[in-house]
Structure 1
């Protein structure tokens, strides 16, 4: 066996997770005012720009960038030459500027303009000074932002008017990033309340990453003021924990909840214990643990109710006997917050009960929340409370089989969201729910499609996805309305379905492909993009280190948090500088990182005879298979439900996972999957020559080449079976946007053919145990990984067949994690790993997936023998193919995405395709398939064709090799390099991007 442990795919957030509650209302500070961004026209590239005020100055944001394109500062008034000298001195540490040139701005105001070069990368920039409106002004930034900066100065000086206000959601990310920089950089504790309010608003808009940024900075500010471990740091700590839980980062959330729990008992906020129980209940709901969630929510309600006004007791309100109160009864903020807490607890309970199928109880809880909200006047954030309560009531009505009532509730909810958080994720999701209820209620197609289009437009504007369950009714409505012929409606359905395919992997591939494409045009631009990515990772690492140091400091130990705050401030500045350099070097980069690919973009990169097949399969009901080929879209209904497909996939995998062919092949299941997916689109696929597949759900865990495309002779057994791989090569991509991005990146420009790593030496038990001192079992598992008998042979044969140089391989003792990091791997078109893979799920001491290298002799532990996914992010590649000849490197049965953490990191490092496995592979079979694939590639075949021919060779020409457990484990992820006959067409497609 190639590996003792599998590398898992990262799971997406569960589609049915309960939405989080609104945060506790924090008095003082108004993010609504602070977050107002105004439109100020376009920059020199025609991108729309917004201005966000900052103290006496402002920041200008253009296009899709969330880092400022320019900054404006107010300074004491002085003649332009004096202002220029002052600005030049102030900027000397960041950039070198030429002598100032006199000019005028804003219709005649005296000014001086300097053209500059940044010290980092030498990218051009500007520095502008002027005296206007009785004040001096300095501006600097990306050269293209100069006209926008001039207009911003005019607005600040009262000499010009903005062109309109921007939606609040469009400003949240920019504001959170800016306030975080100011909080860490200037130790400005006055920002605390503003950060807390912004965090609450971002959470209510379900922008959890932005909320995390705000709360993390607020926690840091409060800890500097009160000290780590102070009871009142409980507030931002608890809210930060919930944002991490909402993103599926449950271990990180658990650590923060554990830190917050002892603080709650000593916090000055009387509702601290209620909030702790409430948010823990939501965290348990996010983890799909209904019983502890309901218990925690019950505890929270009792604690909130103790602070409610007389006459609004929990029992009375819950029974529907609450009496309307005078508005003065809720003037007291603590009472108002307690009422909001009870309303939200009941609403959250309804959602948990509904997810458990306890529909009558869910309806009762939702009704109880609605009654209490209705009889308690003067609640803060009344519109959003009403919107959430109505949405929960609508969901309960839908589950109870009352679609007309559900549609009315969702309509009311959407209207309230449109008032409180317009063009936000909650608004879009509610429109999707309303569309689903409208379908069930028999509403006309025009009304259904109108709501769907509103939701899709908002999600695409926000660059956010949604669940397959949520978008399914709209995909159905669009595809059915198309009638199989309306190409415009089919294109809408195809693009709407992609909103359920967005993932970390898709985004990473898009970013890497955009960087590779820029590198082809301008290597310096690619270097700027990589520097920006590295700056972002450094900042994230510093935040994690600060969390750990702060926790240690709260226990009276640990390194100085203040030093980490200083490093974070420097890293924030470095990230802003790197972002501005990227804006200059690669102005279209942000626009290239798209999560949805329009049908024309897919057609532009498809090669002759090539078809893209995208499967959309929600967990309930039947989905759709979309086929794009020769400029036309076809759509066919999938013949089974999501649950039925899962069962078929499990049957198929169970017959393959031993890797040795000892179980009868589930030919019937393989044919049923093929028929369900492709029966409705057989015509456009009839003479296709190559298939690009976008799987969904459990389909991610199987290579499509193993599907059976004709009725098999028997339900089990592989003899006489017609496999899809025998008819055509098959490649897999995580999303249509990934296919477009990777194909547009063009082929590798590396000069050398191949580099290999593998056959690691076993880790000594003593080193392994010191690596995991708190868990002896982890050390024993690591030390127990066997030597790989054929890995060395696989690498030597592959290198020879690829025409590699003798020294371009690291085997045995030479294969170490430092050796991988130090190798100039961007010089190689193929990078090959033949080793063990480890995953956190089976080696629980690991925090992330890793591949195993040889240990360093005499080292204190075996840390250098683990090449983690995080480490691979720092490796720089320009590879057509990376071979991960390790078991289950494609994700296996647990696939929630198409790739493991390792594979995702390798894509981000600069791979265009990956050769991965879907189950434990037989060593001899793996060696032959990989080596022949490399030979075929070297002889001019495309990677998909090279793999296919190697797999078929094993099946047809090697005695005992015909069982698909032996030849079908390998799959190609990414389109891969094309054969020589198609390279000219592929190059033309890449140039069109």
Structure 2
């Protein structure tokens, strides 16, 4: 974390603005002309001259200022009676701040100590003594003398707590200072507690002081993000941004800080759709405040380029990356060489991804001399740059040159990096594939797998790490997808279906898959102790990684030995705790570990679990290649597909069903072409189709595909839904193991819970409303008011209740308010249905996560009316089926995240066994028909997927519902079930 410092009039508040943020702040750039402050009048008294310097701008030429202040101090020492103790202390403090401006930290500390002694003599200024202690804490923290920094910060806090009976902003400042010191010491939990207290104190002391509250919020959000509490970090950063926008305006420096903190928190959650506009605004603010050529403006450009690349906007990402890297190259003195090497790799890779090979060659040629000048010839960073170049040449078909590079540089990463290092794994996979492609006898047959299997095992081991959180493992899988893609290609070229199938599962690993495995196990109630131990292990491991990162990034030649020793001791303690917890899990709960971190399911196991008429479709979509694999009871077949064409077909179909589309037109050619890509052999003999994985493909229901040519009559078109029922699989292992275990709906349904029909502000004039923006950073009420009312939601929920036996819990209209829902007992509900708006992150202004609109009865309810994904995940459900008869509920966390990663994952985490979700905004009348008819069919013994299929066929044949034959009306829902 970087910190901001501000010196007050007499240097007494050196660290008043020292709050943790994630913004990049470096040394102040020198001005063309440094102007010293004007000297005081020659005939001024000592007292007047001290006051003159207190009022002067001392920052223009600190060296000249220091000389003048030291001369004045010499005079004061010869005639101390001529000035008051307070003025003597003020002069000493000014000398301290000037030493600090000159980066003379030890000298600054000495003068602050002298100032504190003089103020203490005065006896009437304990607050000033506290300010000196704060200044000392700042200096000692900067010098990594953390024990001294903590002592000074605690002294300041003690003085201020004794001075003020009521909440006070100076107490808030001292709490924040101590929190920063403890953060630097690696004591993250204590630091967080103090940061929360500082915010509460500031709110109570100065509820109208927006700037100070913003600083406290930004500090807390940054620390939350640093410690892995990313969801809460976004919530707090949202509040800081909203308050800064309303009270400071975009020209204020702190608005740039809070924007940067918010953008980083959103990126860490992979909420690209929300992060990108925030980062864009951060970039605009930095350009206005620092200029286009400033290195920190360039850093924001690079962050934006990364986010754009992740969401497929390669052209803009390439332009931004190229411009930013050029600026950063001109400021090499501020850049870590390894970081610059990474930027140069990314800049070249973007050109390759766009197929702009001339530009790619130019960027490679420009980067090589820069890196060779900055890096050791056997540096892993330099080797990785050349290995990345070899990979791009391989993709382009220049395998001979690619292999020559790989043979030279891969041995360096093998020698210098540990086997589990991602870059080493990638390099070894690439070299093996290039050797296989050239037909090397030594790289074929058993020799090939003797070389590659240990490398793959390293990766599988990382993805089976019981110490890591599900989200971290999913991110690790994504980061290693290029390496596993090479392994897949190697296996397919060797005709090794088992290894290829294992690679497919790693390439398609998602947080949802991990969540479904965990939720399946946790519901059993047999492993509560194991889950408790595992949660402690994950938390301890998270804290250990933070300390290790602190050690890696924080140690430098000027760091004193005691700081390094303190961090080393904390790392050792956390490492021992993690090992002890892991040993207890291994000794007492080995089956639990095997279940939550299973190895990929074997092809044979999946094949034997399938019945005649069933087929599993597994698409793999990457920037480097796309494949579609089919598995049925007879075995596995696969085919390469043109990824660009596949994504274009998906985009055409998505556009055709968008809310603003013309329903009299439908791209039948795209629907038929996409069917051919997914089912090159057709679907003859299949009546049940399961979809696992996919990126763009996961944004469409398979039912919408056309198995043949379609005429103008959509009602009679050969939709796939006529041939087969389809559903989504979240986890292949759970699917293979759980066949035949799901309970059909029937007379044993104990409770149906229906929630929905919230009245929208400005639409119906009802009581249900949304809380204001300030409290949680959620959408403003005026944007919610633009949503269409759900006129048939009440009737839909009543019809669902009538379709199922057993008791009912109905929360309709104002009774569906969020506070009511959270108080309701849903522990016995086997079927839960929501008939309300499902909101996608970024769909409405300031909506940062997927949510269900429930509303709230009033501003004092403590709720904001939106049941977000993070809140859903905390629910404790035992539901066989959750039906989201709402809009956009199958969408991911945002436009760049995997589909099903939002509400679907949240409900799986809460305990839902299966889900019925929508891929786009559903018209109210169609949603009611589809949900009710699907539930009725399932209650009569049909599988959920078959019940939905029949409901869709019935709806498209109806003439009393406008446009019912158009897929936008009948096709939005999917079943996600294991």
TM over 0.5: yes
Shift of 1:582: 7.0
Q: Does 1:691 align with 2:689?
A: yes
Indicate which of 510, 515, 520 corresponds to 2:517: 510
Provide the residue aligned with 1:623 in structure 2.
Answer: 627
Contact 2:543 2:574 (8 Å CA) reproduced? yes
1:350 aligns with 2:353: no
Give the structure 2 partner of residue 299 of structure 1. Answer: 327
1:163-562 map, 5 Å: 183-184=187-188, 248=270, 277=298, 281=302, 284-288=305-309, 289-304=317-332, 346-367=344-365, 369-371=367-369, 374=372, 382-395=378-391, 397-398=393-394, 402-422=398-418, 423-435=420-432, 437-438=434-435, 446=444, 453=453, 455-463=455-463, 464-466=476-478, 471-482=484-495, 489-516=496-523, 518-519=524-525, 522=526, 524-525=528-529, 528=532
Q: 1:662 to 1:733 in 2, by over 3 A?
A: same
Give the Cα separation in 2 of the matches to 1:342 and 1:416.
19
Distance 1:809 1:659, change over 3 A: farther
Which segment drifts farther, 601-610 or 790-799? Answer: 601-610
Q: Judge conservation of contact 1:944–1:972 (CA < 8 Å) in 2.
A: yes
* Structure 1: runs of 5+ lacking an equivalent: 1-23, 25-178, 189-208, 220-230, 232-236, 264-272, 308-336, 483-488, 544-569, 976-993
Conserved in 2, the CA contact under 8 Å of 1:242 and 1:279? no
CA distance in 2, matches of 1:372, 1:669: 47
Q: CA deviation at 1:645?
A: 1.3
Cα pair 1:873 1:909 within 8 Å, conserved: yes
Contact 1:513 1:744 in 2 (8 A): no
Report what 1:949 is aligned to: 950
**How big is the shift at 1:513?**
2.1
Cα distance in structure 2, aligned partners of 1:600 and 1:480? 20
Q: Deviations over 1:943-982 (max 9, x none)?
A: 122222222232346655444333222110123xxxxxxx
Query: 2:298, 2:324 within 8 Å by CA — same for their partners in 1?
Result: yes
- 1:838 is matched with which residue? 839
- 1:763, 1:855 within 8 Å by CA — same for their partners in 2? no
Compare 685-694 and 920-929 and name the one that shifted more: 685-694
3-state SS of 1:826 partner: coil
1:367-389: per-residue Cα shift (whole Å, max 9, x none)?
Answer: 5554455566868xx54233223
Three-state SS of the structure 1 residue aligned to 2:882 is strand
Number of residue pairs matched by the alignment:
678
Cα drift, residue 275 of structure 1:
8.2
2:816 is aligned with 1:809: no
Matched residues in 1 for 2:348 and 2:528: separation?
Answer: 55
The partner residue of 1:722 within 718, 722, 725 is 718
Which residue of structure 2 lines up, in the alignment, with residue 987 of structure 1? none
Q: Which residue of 2 aligns with 1:611?
A: 615
Deviates more, 1:955-964 or 1:925-934: 955-964
The answer to whether the Cα contact below 8 Å between 2:887 and 2:921 also exists between their aligned partners in 1 is: yes
C-alpha distance in structure 2 between counterparts of 1:654 and 1:694, whole Å: 23
Q: Give 3-state SS (helix, strand or coil) of 1:827's partner.
A: coil
Q: Are 1:790 and 2:803 counterparts?
A: no
Q: Where is the helix percentage greater, Structure 1 or Structure 2?
A: 2
Quote the residue 2:941 is aligned against.
940
- Mapping of 1:24-63 within 5 angstroms? none
Any idea what SS the aligned residue of 2:319 has? helix
Distance in structure 2 (CA, Å) of the matches to 1:717 and 1:441:
53
Query: Kindly tell me: are residues 246 and 302 of structure 1, through their superposed partners in 2, closer, same or farther at Cα, counting changes over 3 Å?
Result: farther
What is the CA distance between 1:526 and its match in structure 2?
Answer: 8.0
Aligned to 1:965: 968
How far apart, in 2, do the equivalents of 1:238 and 1:843 lie?
A: 21
1:757/1:804 CA distance change after superposition, 3 Å:
farther
Check whether the contact 1:501–1:735 (CA below 8 A) recurs between aligned residues.
no
Deviations along 1:632-679, one digit per CA (max 9) or x if unpaired, are 4221315x4111112222333344345999324443332222222222
Q: Distance in 1 between matches of 2:264 and 2:406?
A: 26
Task: State the distance in 2 between where 1:659 and 1:348 align.
Answer: 37
Mapped contact 2:755–2:834 kept (Cα < 8 A): yes
Matched, 1:876 2:876: yes
How far 1:906 moved relative to its partner? 0.6
Q: Structure 2 length as normaliser, TM-score?
A: 0.59
**Larger relative CO (CA 8 A, sep 6+): 1 or 2?**
1
In structure 2, relative to structure 1, the CA distance for the partners of 1:261 and 1:779 (3 Å cut) is closer
Which residue, out of 756, 761, 768, partners 2:759?
761
The structural deviation recorded for 1:535 is 7.7
Compute the displacement of 1:814 (Å): 0.9
| Equivalent-residue separation in structure 2 for 1:419 and 1:641 (angstroms) | 37
Cα 1:296–1:654 change in 2 (3 A) is closer
Deviation at 1:414, TM superposition (A): 2.8
Q: Which residue in the other structure is 1:222 paired with?
A: none
Change (3 A) 1:584 1:283: farther
- Structure 2, unpaired ranges of 5+: 1-25, 27-182, 193-222, 234-252, 254-258, 287-293, 310-316, 464-475, 548-572
Match of 1:592 in 2: 595
Give distance in 1, aligned partners of 2:860 and 2:915: 34
Distance 1:662 1:797, change over 3 A: same
2:856 alignment partner, SS class: coil
- Give CA-to-partner distance per residue, 1:746-789, whole Å, 9 cap, x none: 55999614211011122359996861269999321213334311
Instruction: Assess if the C-alpha contact under 8 Å between 1:701 and 1:894 holds in 2.
Output: no
How many angstroms apart in 2 are the aligned matches of 1:779 and 1:187?
Answer: 35
Q: Is residue 246–residue 286 contact of structure 1 (8 Å, CA) maintained in 2? A: no
Q: TM-score, normalised by structure 1?
A: 0.59
Question: In 2, are the aligned partners of 1:534 and 1:874 still within 8 Å (CA)?
Answer: no
SS in 1 for 2:627: strand
Maintained 8 Å contact 1:479/1:635 = no
Kept in 2, the 8 Å contact 1:833–1:883? The answer is yes
Q: 1:809 to 1:338 in 2, by over 3 A?
A: closer
| Structure that is richer in strand per residue | 1
Q: 8 Å contact 1:954–1:962 — kept in the other structure? A: yes
- Aligned with 1:784: secondary structure? coil
- 1:799 deviation in Å? 0.6
Larger radius of gyration: 2
Call closer, same or farther: CA 1:210–1:473 in 2, change over 3 Å.
farther
Check conservation: 2:352, 2:360, Cα contact below 8 A. yes
Q: Is 1:708–1:724's contact at 8 Å kept on the other side of the alignment?
A: yes
The CA deviation at 1:866 is 0.8
**Native 8 Å contact 2:488 2:504 kept in 1:** yes
Distance of aligned partners of 1:752 and 1:183 in 2 relative to their CA distance in 1, 3 Å threshold: same
The 3-state SS of whatever aligns with 2:679 is helix
Residue pair 1:802, 1:935 contacting (<8 A) in 2 also:
yes
Contact residue 509 and residue 741 of structure 1 kept, 8 A = no
Residues 744 and 938, structure 2, Cα contact 8 Å, conserved in 1: no
